[in-house]
């Protein structure tokens, strides 16, 4: 899989959407994660996330059905093995949009992956983006900002055992172009 990670509000989803628009749908497949959080306005079950219950996701985690899972901001998130396998069977490069806890789980699972870490230009800009969403309470924003500092520190560590690159998302178009250069290096078939 191609793991796209970074703190909440950094623009992971926007970058992934841009990549999917630039490349034919036959190249990339987006692995839809499971979550126990409530849908945001406009989010569609099965397209943005599989919205589920704590009981159901916990049962599936206990049965080993997830490649990665994490408790983030009070909600469970996870990527099922089945979601990745379906895309691999279609010969697609599987994109995972996950946080640092998920990255650690994927690395521990020994699933071969390449990692793109997206960082904000500054913590102030990240806070502005989170507030600009208009979907978070003040407590949620503060929790996300607190977690972001730890995620950025982790994401900037280089891991000699895996392919990973760091991109600062000052401007989505430029960030996507920089990522495409790396993807062409990693995946010559593009």
In this prediction, what percent of the chain has a pLDDT beyond 90? 58
* pLDDT tens digits, 68-93: 998 888 899 999 999 999 999 998 99
Q: What is this structure's pTM?
A: 0.82
* pLDDT confidence bin for 173, thresholds 50/70/90: very high
Helix and strand element counts for the chain (H, E) = 7, 9
Mean pLDDT taken over the chain? 90
Mean pLDDT of 156-180: 87
Distance set, CA 10 to CA 108, 181, 182 (Å): 25, 20, 19
Query: Dihedrals φ, ψ of 127, to 5°?
Result: -60, -40
Question: What's residue 110's pLDDT?
Answer: 80
Domain ranges of the chain: 2-183
Indicate the pLDDT class of residue 100, thresholds 50, 70 and 90: confident
Which of 27-31, 52-56, 151-155, 156-160 has the lowest average pLDDT? 156-160
Local confidence band at 20 (pLDDT 50, 70, 90 cut-offs): confident
Going by pLDDT thresholds of 50, 70 and 90, the confidence category of residue 190 is: confident
Name the band, by pLDDT with cuts 50, 70 and 90, for residue 5.
very high
Smallest CA-to-CA distance from 97 within 154, 36, 35, 51 is with: 35
Q: Is CATH 3.90.1580.10 the classification given to domain 2-183?
A: no
Residue 99's CB is within 10 A of a number of other CB atoms, namely 22
Q: What is the pLDDT of residues 113-164, one digit of tens each?
A: 999 999 999 999 999 988 988 888 899 889 889 889 888 888 877 666 668 8
């Amino acid at each position: 899989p191609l793991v796209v990670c970074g703190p909440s509000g950094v623009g992971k989803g926007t970058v992934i959407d841009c990549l999917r628009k630039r490349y034919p749908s036959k190249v990339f497949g987006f692995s839809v994660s499971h979550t126990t959080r409530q849908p945001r306005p406009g989010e569609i079950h099965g397209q943005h996330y599989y919205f589920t219950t704590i009981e159901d996701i916990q049962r599936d985690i206990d049965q080993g059905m997830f490649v990665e899972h994490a408790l983030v901001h009070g909600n469970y998130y996870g990527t099922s093995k089945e979601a990745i396998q379906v895309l691999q069977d279609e010969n697609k490069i599987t994109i995972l949009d996950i946080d640092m806890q998920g990255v650690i789980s994927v690395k521990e699972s020994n699933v071969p992956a390449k990692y793109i870490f997206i960082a904000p230009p500054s913590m102030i800009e990240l806070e502005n983006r989170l507030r600009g969403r208009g979907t978070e309470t003040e407590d949620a924003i503060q929790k996300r900002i607190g977690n972001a500092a730890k995620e950025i520190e982790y994401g900037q560590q280089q891991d000699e055992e895996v392919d990973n690159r760091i991109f600062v998302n000052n401007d989505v178009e430029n960030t996507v172009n920089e990522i495409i250069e790396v993807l062409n290096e990693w995946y010559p078939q593009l």
